[in-house]
Amino acid sequence: MINIGVIGAGAMGSGIAQVAAEAGYGVLIFDVDPNASEKALGKLQKNWQKAVDKEKINPEEMQKRVALVRVASDLADLKDFDLVIEAVAENQEVKKSVFSRLDEVCTEKTIFASNTSSLSITEIGSFTNRPDKVAGMHFFNPVPVMKLIEIIKGLATSEETIDALKVVAAKMKKVGVVANDTPGFIVNRLLVPLCNEAIKMLEAGVASLEDIDTAMKLGANWPMGPFELSDLVGLDVHIGATAGLERELNDSHYACARLARQMYRANRLGRKTGKGFYDYN
> Per CB under 6 A, does 62 bind ligand CAA?
no
Q: Active-site residue among 37, 123, 138, 230? A: 138
Of 154, 115, 103, which Cα lies nearest the Cα of 132? 154
Q: Does 110 bind ligand CAA (CB under 6 A)?
A: no
Q: How far is the CB of 195 from ligand CAA (least distance, A)?
A: 9
Question: In the set 9, 233, 239, 257, which binds ligand CAA (CB under 6 A)?
Answer: 233
Q: Which stretch binds ligand CAA (CB under 6 A): 135-143, 197-205, 249-257, 265-273?
A: 135-143
- Indicate the residue among 110 and 116 with the shorter CB distance to ligand CAA: 116
Across-strand partners of 139?
A: 149
Residue positions forming the annotated binding site: 8-13, 31, 90, 95, 117, 141, 272
**Alpha carbon distance 202, 199 (integer Å):** 5
Number of residues counted as binding ligand CAA (CB under 6 A):
15
| Number of CB atoms found within 10 A of residue 262's CB | 12
**Minimum Å distance from CB 1 to ligand CAA?**
24
Can you tell me the distance from the alpha carbon of 278 to that of 210, in angstroms, rounded to the nearest whole number? Answer: 9
- Rounded CA gap, 202 and 212, in Å? 8
**How many Å apart are CA 62 and CA 51, to the nearest integer?**
9
Nearest to 192 by CA among 121, 145, 125, 138: 138
138 is catalytic: yes
Amino acid (one-letter) located at 269: L
188 is catalytic: yes
What type of residue sits at position 77?
Answer: D
Q: Which of 40, 237, 263, 269 binds ligand CAA (CB under 6 A)?
A: 237
Binding residues for NAD(+): 8-13, 31, 90, 95, 117, 141, 272
When asked if residue 48 is in the footprint of ligand CAA (CB under 6 A), the reply is no
Residue span 136-175 as binding mask against ligand CAA, x where in contact by CB under 6 A, dash where not: ----xxx-xxx-----------------------------
> Nearer to ligand CAA by C-beta: 144 or 193?
144
Q: How many CA atoms lie within 13 A of 102 on its CB side?
A: 32
Residue 126 CA to its chain's centroid (Å): 21
**SS3 readout for 6-34:** EECCCHHHHHHHHHHHHCCCEEEEECCCH
Q: Which residues bind ligand CAA (CB under 6 A)?
A: 47, 117, 140-142, 144-146, 188, 191, 223-224, 229, 233, 237
Active site members = 117, 138, 150, 188
